[in-house]
Amino acid sequence: MKIALDTNRYRDFCLGDPVVLDRLQLAEQIFLPFVTLAELRAGFQCGTKAGKNERILLRFLSRPRTSVLYASEATTRHYAQLFYQLRQQGTPIPTNDIWIAALVVEHGLHLFSRDQHFDHLPHLSRID
């Protein structure tokens, strides 16, 4: 299974959550959306352990099955469709999470997140 990791599940990984550790161990490929990467680094900057957290992140990213996933022109089309759908439903979600969802849809991934607002996108493949 190919998964995209949301910020909260990366944090769970760092805390040693056994469910997350098992899921990541079984994943064929792990993608960290650029938005997740940016959110993590912003959090590091606001904390007191920025250097340590960055080293852990770089070690995580250096694993052979792990890649950063960047937006493309096609991603912007998925973003626009998801934005429109959420607006029509009256169920907006944070902008960063629309970008993550757009990348997941574009690349046919399974989103690994605890955020329940992704439930507003039932066609989005998710794992808990």
pLDDT of residue 128: 76
| CA gap 61, 12 in Å, rounded | 16
| CA pseudo-torsion sign 41, 45, 47, 52 | positive
pLDDT tens for 17-48 read 999 999 999 999 999 999 999 999 999 999 88
Residue pair 57/42 in contact (Cβ under 8 Å)? The answer is no
| CA gap 40, 98 in Å, rounded | 17
pLDDT of residue 47: 85
- Spatial CB neighbours of 91, under 8 Å, sequence gap ≥ 6: 117, 120
Domains along the chain? 2-127 (3.40.50.1010)
pTM, rounded to two decimals: 0.93
Q: Is 79 helix (H, G, I), strand (E, B) or coil?
A: helix
